[in-house]
Amino acid sequence: MPLSPPMPDASASKPVQLLRLVRPTQWAKSVFVLIGPFYALADEGLTLADSLWRAVVAAIAFSLVSSAMYIVNDILDAEADRAHPRKQNRPIASGAVSPREGLVLSTVLVVASGAAVFLLPETPARLWLGAILIAYVANVAAYSVLFKHHVIADVMSLSIGFVLRVFAGCVAISVTPSVWLLNCTLFLAMFLAFAKRLGERRTLGAGAGAARRVQAAYTDDLLRMAVVVTGVATLMGYTIYVQAQEAYVLGFNLLWLTVLPATYTLLRTVVVIEQGRYDDPTELAVRDRGFQAGAAVFGLMTAYLVWHFRLAGAA
């Protein structure tokens, strides 16, 4: 099975290349912005329409600023990307878009992200969201110039980016994120980052170090252990949350049923990455039917249970 589908030709039009540079597929990560508002809505009975609007605004702001930082990272990583069989076709690495054009687009995206913040109705929410976006930019900048070259620190930095997404969604609706949510987010993000590094070693072999310098400090055994530890921590965090929920009991705690697709989806990720079929969990989420099925079942079951026991019951 090929590592990835053929990339568009470098001769594609400039607008197409700029769109590729923005990486809209990565906006799927902004789903983490929506998690906090979703559970807060269930727990605290917030207004559905208002909470949805605020959460979407925060997700849009994060999507735009994350695209801006991807561009900056692509400029800094252009030389290393040329050694990667898939990344060498990225617009900056292939020469289809110049670094100067990339910086201009990145600046536009940052400005657009800042403008989105002002769509929130209250000043405190705007200030908090703006501060979180600045923290995200600082964290990505630190990753790009320092942390990405240091074992473990690289994964921790990437994972903090996901935790900041969760904080963004929560501050947008003026709620405090729970400890279980932060723990699950941190360990899940670490799991995905370690899985990505393991996947790179499976697909690139000896060339993994050329594509990502920190790979020289990792070993297969270390990455396997890290994937298992963070995967178990993720599932344990979620099951502890489920155990504490008494509102979903109908004979037994029906929310426990969501643990089944969650476990399947996480372990499916481990299996497919270990087989070397993908080197990026984001690509796996977009293309792997088994992963998509498990994630869909988990999402639908959770949404139904929350609606039935919390929202519909409060109506």
Per residue in 7-24, pLDDT (tens digit) is: 445 557 888 899 999 999
* C-alpha pair distances (Å), 25 with each of 29, 100, 156, 159: 9, 23, 23, 18
What pLDDT sits at residue 2? 41
Residues 6 or more apart whose CB falls under 8 angstroms from that of 46 comprise 37, 40, 173, 175
Helix (H) / strand (E) element for 252: namely strand 252-253
Q: Which of 77-81, 162-166, 215-219 has the least mean pLDDT?
A: 77-81
CB 182 within 8 A of CB 159: no
Per-residue pLDDT, averaged over 133-146, amounts to 93
Express each pLDDT in 144-192 by its tens digit: 888 988 999 999 999 999 999 999 999 999 888 889 899 999 999 999 9
The identity of residue 36, as a single letter, is: G
Candidates 259, 264, 248; CA nearest to 304 is 248
Tokens 């792997």 locate to 288
Helix (H) / strand (E) element for 223: namely helix 220-243
The whole-angstrom distance between residue 171's C-alpha and the CA centroid of its chain comes to 18
Q: What share of the chain is helix, strand, coil (3-state, %, to 5)?
A: 80, 0, 20
Residue 250, strand partner residues: 252
Whole-angstrom Cα distance, residue 43 to residue 33? 17
On the question of pLDDT at 306 being above 50, the answer is: yes
Q: Which of 72-76, 79-83, 226-230 has the least mean pLDDT?
A: 79-83
On the question of pLDDT at 5 being above 50, the answer is: no
